[in-house]
Amino acid sequence: MMKPFYYEPFVTELCDPELDGRVPGTPGHDTARTMIVNSLADLKLEPLLASGYEQSYKAAMGGITGRNLLGVKRGTGAQGKWVLLGAHYDHLAGCPGASDNAASVGVVLEAIRRLSERHHDCDVVVAIFDMEEPPFFNDERSMGSYIFHDRCPEGFDLALLQCAVVLDLVGHQTEIPGKEQSLFALGVQSGPGLKQALFDAREPLSDLEVYGSSVHVGLSDHNVFYENQRPHLFLTSGRAHHYHTANDTIDKLDFKKMSNISELIANFVVSLDRNQTAERFTEDDHAAEMSRFFQKEIDVDQLPLVLMQLQAKL
């Protein structure tokens, strides 16, 4: 039975035109930040820093203060191991930023809410990153995910990070006819156990089509984990026609899909505990995943052309 998406009103409020894109350094950004911090507290997450939930820093570009919002849900037997669930909350002036990336913030919070009912060993860090959008994008001294990685809070050893699960552009229906409920999990080859944990997590979700991939597209906050060879998954529904426009509005979101993605993530965290030494995702696995997507047999030699065709559609 489909579980309701508790954070629909929260996501709707994040997309309010009054916030004007949640641009760093603006009142709309301040409002969004307060909303998210209050949600972390409501979920009873511990602040990741002694000073609270906010990891403040001065961006190299423009000198504006950036603020990552960080909390942790403790596991029962972590022994220093942890999983990160991340999404950025800033956007562009004049754009509501519903799918990019208010939806992802809501999905992360919903996944944590569902994990409150489950047993998991690893600590689960929630990282709502700042300054992902231009002009800060891929500026290592401004982009929030780079700041987090380079200044990782005390007590969270990056060598013990089991997976950084980063979400961007997940809230809309994929714009390929017949594949609207697709979700792509990029980077599944980056760590042991990720393949089996992902496959286990998707298995009960008949209404969500999840495809693992070893492709890297460095267009979001997972890039710093890729560059530093950390285990990671990048979850995305691909770009939509309203990407980075004023038409990225709340009515474009599929809250049923978002509910399923939240469930997938909660399943993944629990499954990862028991699959941390399982085999890695291979190119044969990748070919099998693309065969499922295209509903025809694809071998490893065909992957480059097939992936080019898929990326052109997204």
Within this chain, do residues 262 and 306 fall inside the same structural domain, yes or no? no
Do 158 and 288 reside in the same domain of the chain? no
Distance (Å, whole) CA 115 – CA 134: 33
**Has residue 183 been placed in a domain?**
yes
Q: How far is CA 65 from the centre of its chain?
A: 23
Is 201 domain-assigned?
A: yes
Do 203 and 309 have their domain in common?
no
Cβ(244)–Cβ(169) below 8 Å: no
277 located within any domain:
yes
Residues 160 and 186 in one domain: yes
User: Is residue 1 assigned to a domain?
Assistant: no
Q: Is residue 235 part of a domain?
A: yes
172 and 289 within one domain: no
Do 156 and 210 lie in a common domain?
yes
In-domain check, residue 257 = yes
Is 288 found in the same domain as 277?
no
Tens place of pLDDT per residue across the chain (314 aa): 678 999 999 999 999 999 999 999 999 999 999 999 999 999 999 999 999 999 999 999 889 999 999 999 999 987 899 999 999 999 999 999 999 999 999 999 999 999 998 999 999 999 999 999 999 999 999 999 999 999 999 899 999 999 999 999 999 999 999 999 999 999 999 999 999 999 999 999 999 999 999 999 999 999 999 999 999 999 999 999 999 999 999 999 999 999 999 999 999 999 998 887 778 999 999 999 999 999 999 999 999 998 988 888 87
Residues 208 and 306 in one domain: no
Is position 3 within any domain?
no
Instruction: Indicate whether 116 and 164 sit together in one domain.
Output: yes
Owning domain of residue 44: 8-281
Same domain for 294 and 204, yes or no, is no
CATH code for position 196: 3.40.630.10
Same domain, 293 and 213: no
Query: For every residue of 154-185, which 3-state class applies, written as one string?
Result: CCCCHHHEEEEEEECCCCECCCCCCCCCEEEE
Does residue 2 fall inside a structural domain? no
Residues 206 and 262 in one domain: yes
Does this model's pTM top 0.95? My answer is yes
Gap between the Cα atoms of 81 and 202, Å rounded: 23
Domain tally for the chain?
2
